Chain A
Amino acid sequence: MDVEQMFMKYGAAMLRHARLMLGKDALCEDAVQEALLRIMRTSSAPRDEAHEKAWLLTVTGNICRDFLRRRNRRREVAIPEWFDLPSGEAVPEEEVSLQDRDARLVQAVMNLPVKYREPVLLVYYHELSSKDAAQAMGLTGTAFRSRLMRAREMLRDALGEEILL
């Protein structure tokens, strides 16, 4: 699969990943564009399609981290502007409960520091295997698992509830 096909197939995931990493920011598109440029010039593309998505997310994640580092250097606080609180309109109880739960969960995830947010997103949102996710973050399996575990603890603390894995 050439780069363009790959991008059309997984571009949305890349954009999503960038948004979840950076927030609702114009930088998301820049990050995806830069990731695409980096992908086009690199000669280390995976040979099997099974790992293409992981690879694309790896590159995107790397660039997002660069952007975040740069933003942090400028002392800008990453505010998840994209996250809208549930509206106050009347909705059925079940839905309220579901919506509220979703919102809490997502907000808790997005409030995690990036280094803990990313493993959660890679595993639970992008549904990568632990091995691929570890590779995507440039971590060893042990380090990745440790970080993921710590992320779960932080989520548990934030939500005050039980988390099913």
Chain B
Amino acid sequence: VSYDMKHLRQAVDRQIPSAPADEARLKDILGEISEKKQPRRARRTGFLSAAAAVIVVILTFLSILPDGPGQDHVGGPMSMGAGSEPRETAQPKETALPSAASESVQAENDEDMSLYQSWYSPDWGASMFPDEKEFGDVIIRKQEDGSLAFENKDGSEALPGRWQQAFAYFVTSGTGLVGNGEALALLGKDGLITDFTYKSLQYMGNRAAFVQTNQGTLSGLTLISVADGGYLNGKFYDEIGYTGDGKTTLFMGVRREMIQLEDGGVAVDRILSTDVMDTTGRIIVRCHELSSVHDGVLGVRMQENSDILLLDMDGNELYGGQEFFMVGDRRNGLQIVLAKGGWGVLNEDGSWALEPGMYSSVRFGSDSTFIITDYEDMTREINLQGEDVSSASLKLRMAVKKAAEKVNAWLDSFGLLGKIILIAAAWLLAVRHGHALRARETRHMLVTEAGWAALIFGLLLISHRETWEALRLWPTNTDTSGSLDVAWAYGILASGGLISMIGCWKWMRTPVRALIAGSAVLLIPWAIKCVFADMSVKDWRILSEIVFTVFLLLSVLLMKAGFVRRFLEWCKTLDTINEYGLWRRILWYALTLAAFVNFALGTYLSGQGMSESSLHTEILPGGGTAYDAAWMAEINETCAKWRASGEELDSYLTDGNWETFHTVRWMEENDIDRLTRDMIYRLSVSGTIELKREGMAQLYFYANDPGVRFLSMQSPVAKDGRIRCDSVILVPPDMEPMPEICATVSVTQPQIDWIASQRYYEIDMSTVLQDMGGVEGEDAKPIPGAADASASIIGGADSPASILVESSSASVIGGADQPTSILVK
């Protein structure tokens, strides 16, 4: 028997007859592609990619999350009411709400407050009000004509619906206050109690409120009882702070008094006094500033620049009269304080429950546990025995953060090379992904997308600290010195997305074209990075405004010229994207859009940071309000060692002890930006500002030890008077005179007033600057006839601030390219 291979075809066809469905299957296969459906395996790949992307995003955001509530106050918790705000902003406005810290305390102790907070909205107009809402014993119902009527629960009318555009301030059990912006009405169970003509009102708790009145000559803030609308003590205040401790409601009135000190006819000084009173008007203590109130313990500064003393409600000193830099929360007799050495926790008897110096911040977790941040910036929850009782989520976050820090450090170690590698990887992945998309090579799509996700993660790791900082502070407290890097990183991502989209374009058939287009697109963020990084603030702002204006104009013109139609046509050429499955397509466009939005946001933030400066904290008279425990502890410790050595600081520093300073973590060379930011944000910055020339200023910072101070480089002054500080250097102590000065160039009226009340000296700072290296030299001398000197700030919102000093014999303008500058003392 022989087998004829020529019959193989017939043999096979006989053995394996064609299935009738074959032709239909062929049509199906063709149809699936014609209907732009992706292969099944590709759909699986899409879901896997989506899942991977989601995981990456979650992990990334976990890594950049703050450690928990309260982290904004890195130096520790603040517990101030409205009175802790800068003086000029402390006036309760109509829309003012209690500060967050006060809210939390108040809400715990005053059941009415939760009700109050849950629906308080000063902007509620009748049109926005729900048809009916029940508060306590009062039902507020919208009438047909849009007005609000107040009814008791039994249906009786509490207040007729005559309150057009009314908004309700609060309703407690049976009592409510409503107003229309000009007048207030107090409601009781039996209806209207009384009318007021107060401008604004805030509920205080304990049946008390404070209102701003405009009744004739009686203007200012006063206290009323919500029971009958009567005055509590009949006094009027510049400002009122409030706290609720469950026992007593405290009101803080601030009287500013100008006191003339006849000291040789020279000095004019000011004493700020604060009366801390209870609701009866009894003065508990007269101090410079009420810093905090917790659990019946008052933290007060008796004098300007003094540390905080803790008092009980009778004004008696606690903890043996120890003073603290800062006072945190208090619970169950445990008091968080910032003492010399750092944050710690005091027992009731004044002994340390948690020794200071171990943590950079401490705050309460529960009543007996603390959430601490160590000097490695890791957060955990501990009990009084110091045992770690962190929750699983906190542990996870810290683990992710730690891992992220390690990877971040690893990536950073590559420096420029690492970034180039990332750029190259971004480009390769983008181009390859584009090809894979077009070719529907699902395996390559998966690989490139996984690579892309890894790249996104890597770039975010590099930039997450700056990103988070920028976003956390944006837009009010903008410090975005790192955001240019962020913009750059996001720019690469966005460009990568664009490249990948271009890779789907039919025109991009050849690798050469892909290379050209990809490189061109990648150059955009690179150019931004290179060009803008070294530009001056002014130029940057002008250029960015021009660019955005041109961009907007072009957009409009292009749209008018049928841009949308053309764009849609172009989109059609992205043939392969449209063949994705629905979810994959949505994911793809969403990621690309997100990348571009991030790019825009990063660019915007960097613009904010560069044009409006980063120094958001005004250096207020009396210095700042917070200390960084680690920083101060290290500085003071070093200063103490220096003092103990009996040497001059210069010789001490050149004797190898410079390392002591040098190794302080914030003094590391590559951390100088952060140092200055930290100083501004967290430290008690006793500083001076010298206007060097138009738009530039010089800042001095002081440690507690008057012999040690830091001098900033020249820094730009923004239009609003804020200052960006980029770096500092240590200034030797013999560079006298360096008056102990606190001042500001922020052009707000209270500060102008304050500066005008100070003494002035004239110093040739050019000499001082030349001598920064430690060589002796200073040319300070009093302004002739300074006894009757007065000063004011020239300029303001639209021009750089300068200081004009006038006396009977001299008139000097500091700043604005003047060779002689003014130091404010």
Binding site for B on A (CB under 8 A): 4, 7-8, 11-12, 15-16, 19-20, 29-30, 32-34, 36-38, 40-41, 43, 82-84, 99, 101-106, 109, 120, 124-125, 127, 152, 155, 159, 161-165
Query: A17 to B15, alpha carbons, bound, how many Å?
Result: 15
Query: A109 to B16, alpha carbons, bound, how many Å?
Result: 13
**Are B8 and A15 in touch, CB under 8 angstroms?**
no
Task: Indicate whether B439 reaches chain A with its CB closer than 8 angstroms.
Answer: yes
Query: A7 to B34, alpha carbons, bound, how many Å?
Result: 12
**Are B3 and A105 in touch, CB under 8 angstroms?**
yes
Residue of B1, B2, B5, B23 most packed against chain A (CB within 10 A)? B5
Task: Indicate whether B255 reaches chain A with its CB closer than 8 angstroms.
Answer: no
**Are B16 and A159 in touch, CB under 8 angstroms?**
no
* Closest chain A residue, CB of each to CB of B439: A41
Q: Select the stretch in B24-32, B246-254, B654-662 that faces chain A.
A: B24-32
* Closest chain A residue, CB of each to CB of B579: A37
Task: Indicate whether B18 reaches chain A with its CB closer than 8 angstroms.
Answer: yes
Binary CB contact string for chain B from 4 to 23 against chain A (1 if under 8 A, 0 otherwise)? 11111111101110100011
**Are A103 and B15 in touch, CB under 8 angstroms?**
yes
Query: A20 to B11, alpha carbons, bound, how many Å?
Result: 13
Query: A156 to B459, alpha carbons, bound, how many Å?
Result: 63
Contact A33 to B29, CB < 8 A, known contacts A15-B22, A102-B15, A106-B15? yes
Q: With a CB–CB cut-off of 8 A, which chain B residues contact A40?
A: 33
Task: Indicate whether B674 reaches chain A with its CB closer than 8 angstroms.
Answer: no
Contact A30 to B40, CB < 8 A, known contacts A125-B8, A161-B2? yes
- A contact patch SS: helix
Query: A84 to B439, alpha carbons, bound, how many Å?
Result: 37
Q: With a CB–CB cut-off of 8 A, which chain B residues contact A20?
A: 12, 16
Q: With a CB–CB cut-off of 8 A, which chain A residues contact B34?
A: 4
**Are B3 and A163 in touch, CB under 8 angstroms?**
yes
Binding site for A on B (CB under 8 A): 1-12, 14-16, 18, 22-23, 25-26, 29-30, 32-34, 39-41, 438-440, 509
Query: A30 to B9, alpha carbons, bound, how many Å?
Result: 24
**Are A34 and B26 in touch, CB under 8 angstroms?**
no
A–B Cβ pairs within 8 angstroms, 28 of them = A8-B26, A8-B30, A11-B26, A11-B30, A12-B23, A12-B26, A29-B29, A30-B40, A32-B29, A33-B32, A33-B39, A37-B439, A40-B33, A41-B438, A101-B1, A104-B3, A105-B7, A105-B8, A105-B11, A109-B12, A120-B5, A124-B5, A124-B6, A159-B3, A162-B2, A163-B3, A164-B3, A164-B5
**Are A82 and B16 in touch, CB under 8 angstroms?**
yes
- Apart from A37-B33, A82-B16, A103-B15, list 6 A-B contacts with CB within 8 A: A7-B26, A102-B7, A120-B8, A125-B9, A163-B3, A164-B2
Query: A152 to B2, alpha carbons, bound, how many Å?
Result: 13
Q: With a CB–CB cut-off of 8 A, which chain B residues contact A109?
A: 8, 12
Q: With a CB–CB cut-off of 8 A, which chain A residues contact B7?
A: 102, 105
Query: A101 to B14, alpha carbons, bound, how many Å?
Result: 11
**Are B26 and A15 in touch, CB under 8 angstroms?**
yes
Q: With a CB–CB cut-off of 8 A, which chain A residues contact B11?
A: 101-102, 105-106
Q: With a CB–CB cut-off of 8 A, which chain A residues contact B32?
A: 33
Smallest beta-carbon distance A120→chain B, Å: 7
**Are B30 and A36 in touch, CB under 8 angstroms?**
yes
**Are A162 and B26 in touch, CB under 8 angstroms?**
no
* Closest chain A residue, CB of each to CB of B15: A106
Q: With a CB–CB cut-off of 8 A, which chain A residues contact B15?
A: 83-84, 102-103, 106
**Are A29 and B25 in touch, CB under 8 angstroms?**
yes
**Are B2 and A4 in touch, CB under 8 angstroms?**
no
Query: A12 to B14, alpha carbons, bound, how many Å?
Result: 16
Partner of A43, one of B8, B41, B509: B509
Partner of A30, one of B3, B5, B30, B41: B41
**Are B39 and A38 in touch, CB under 8 angstroms?**
no
* Closest chain A residue, CB of each to CB of B38: A37
Partner of B39, one of A37, A84, A102, A124: A37
Q: With a CB–CB cut-off of 8 A, which chain A residues contact B18?
A: 12, 16
Q: With a CB–CB cut-off of 8 A, which chain B residues contact A37?
A: 33, 39, 439-440
Q: With a CB–CB cut-off of 8 A, which chain B residues contact A4?
A: 30, 34
Query: A165 to B6, alpha carbons, bound, how many Å?
Result: 7
**Are A161 and B1 in touch, CB under 8 angstroms?**
yes
Residue of A33, A43, A109, A164 most packed against chain B (CB within 10 A)? A33
**Are A163 and B2 in touch, CB under 8 angstroms?**
yes
Contact A125 to B29, CB < 8 A, known contacts A101-B1, A101-B3? no
Query: A11 to B22, alpha carbons, bound, how many Å?
Result: 9
Query: A102 to B10, alpha carbons, bound, how many Å?
Result: 8
**Are B25 and A15 in touch, CB under 8 angstroms?**
yes
Q: With a CB–CB cut-off of 8 A, which chain B residues contact A30?
A: 39-41
Q: With a CB–CB cut-off of 8 A, which chain B residues contact A104?
A: 3
Q: With a CB–CB cut-off of 8 A, which chain A residues contact B12?
A: 20, 106, 109, 125
Partner of B30, one of A7, A125, A152: A7
Smallest beta-carbon distance A105→chain B, Å: 5
Query: A106 to B439, alpha carbons, bound, how many Å?
Result: 36
* Closest chain A residue, CB of each to CB of B440: A37
Query: A11 to B439, alpha carbons, bound, how many Å?
Result: 20
**Are B5 and A163 in touch, CB under 8 angstroms?**
yes
**Are A83 and B16 in touch, CB under 8 angstroms?**
yes
Q: With a CB–CB cut-off of 8 A, which chain B residues contact A83?
A: 15-16
Smallest beta-carbon distance A52→chain B, Å: 16
**Are B29 and A11 in touch, CB under 8 angstroms?**
yes
* Closest chain B residue, CB of each to CB of A104: B3
Contact A33 to B509, CB < 8 A, known contacts A12-B22, A15-B25? no
* Closest chain B residue, CB of each to CB of A164: B4
Smallest beta-carbon distance A89→chain B, Å: 16
Smallest beta-carbon distance B376→chain A, Å: 46
* Closest chain A residue, CB of each to CB of B435: A41
Contact A124 to B8, CB < 8 A, known contacts A7-B30, A12-B26, A37-B440? yes
Query: A80 to B7, alpha carbons, bound, how many Å?
Result: 20
Contact A127 to B9, CB < 8 A, known contacts A101-B1, A102-B14, A106-B16? yes
Query: A57 to B34, alpha carbons, bound, how many Å?
Result: 21
Residue of A19, A99, A105, A127 most packed against chain B (CB within 10 A)? A105
Query: A109 to B7, alpha carbons, bound, how many Å?
Result: 12
Smallest beta-carbon distance B572→chain A, Å: 17
* Closest chain B residue, CB of each to CB of A162: B2
Q: With a CB–CB cut-off of 8 A, which chain B residues contact A125?
A: 8-9, 12
Smallest beta-carbon distance A122→chain B, Å: 11
Q: With a CB–CB cut-off of 8 A, which chain A residues contact B23?
A: 12
Residue of B2, B23, B25, B29 most packed against chain A (CB within 10 A)? B29
Q: With a CB–CB cut-off of 8 A, which chain B residues contact A43?
A: 509
Query: A19 to B438, alpha carbons, bound, how many Å?
Result: 27
* Closest chain A residue, CB of each to CB of B11: A102
Smallest beta-carbon distance B788→chain A, Å: 88
Q: With a CB–CB cut-off of 8 A, which chain A residues contact B3?
A: 101, 104-105, 155, 159, 161-164
Query: A152 to B8, alpha carbons, bound, how many Å?
Result: 13
